[in-house]
Amino acid sequence: MSEKIPPEYKYCPYCATPLETRYIEGRERAYCPRCGFIHYRNPLPSVGIIAHRDGKFLLIKRGREPQKGVWAPPSGFIEEGEDPEETAIRELEEETGMKGEVEELLGVYRNNSKVYGDVLVITYLVKITGGSLRAGDDAEEAKLFRYEDLPPIPFRCFTESLKKARKILEGRNEQ
């Protein structure tokens, strides 16, 4: 049950001393006895885009694992030096050809991926403002769906975010 030193960190990345496993801050971690480097294993930061237009939500058919071939909202990893909201707009355009505007934060979720390990997913409600719908990077297909017609989506972070988005948009229509 103890965490092993990952192969990429058998030696300290700063001083090349062999790492040891020590109990630090409540967990076993890779530690350098010479310079004090601690290897913190953090989740990969990503975004999920709940994009909407005319009462419909935009989904892609995933072109890569995990869950290749299933429908899900556009999503992607935050690049170094990029804000999460910038990532959302970039990924929306890369995967669907659509342009958008972030309206609000829907939630922050943890997802354990067989492919990427621990992933932190920040989901945003995004209003589609233009573009030309097409399947782009990481997508086999892109399509708008009414909430009632959404296909099964295997990721809890997206199903919960879609429910929240629906409530928000319905609330706007009641005013």
> Which among 169, 166, 170, 149 has a CA at the least distance from the CA of 158?
166
Q: What is the pTM of this model?
A: 0.87
Q: What domains sit in the chain, N to C, each tagged with a CATH number?
A: 7-39 (2.20.70), 44-174 (3.90.79.10)
Provide the 10 A C-beta neighbour count for residue 1: 3
Pull the structure tokens for residue 74.
């556009």
Question: Is 2's pLDDT higher than 70?
Answer: no
Paired strand residues for 121: 46, 109
Q: How far apart are CA 135 and CA 144, in angstroms?
A: 12
Q: Give residue for tokens 């020590």.
A: 22
Active-site residues, by number, are 141
Give me the pLDDT at residue 80, please. 95
Residues 6+ apart with CB under 8 A from 166: 147
- Closest C-alpha among 157, 162, 129 to residue 59: 162
Token output for 148: 């009632």
Query: What is the predicted pLDDT for the residue at 7?
Result: 54
Residue positions counted in the chain: 175
- Over the stretch 53-68, which tens digit does the pLDDT of each residue have? 999 999 999 988 888 8
Cα 26 from Cα 155, distance rounded (Å): 30
Note whether 17 and 32 are within 8 A (CB): yes
- Give the alpha-carbon dihedral of 42, 43, 44, 46, to 10 degrees: -140
Both tokens assigned to 4: 């092993």
Place of tokens 């009641």: 174
Predicted confidence band at 5 (pLDDT cuts at 50, 70, 90)? low
Residues 16-56 have pLDDT tens digits of 999 999 999 999 999 999 999 999 989 999 999 999 999 99
Identify the pLDDT of residue 4. Answer: 54
Q: How much is the pLDDT for 162?
A: 98
Checking if the pLDDT of 159 tops 80, the result is yes
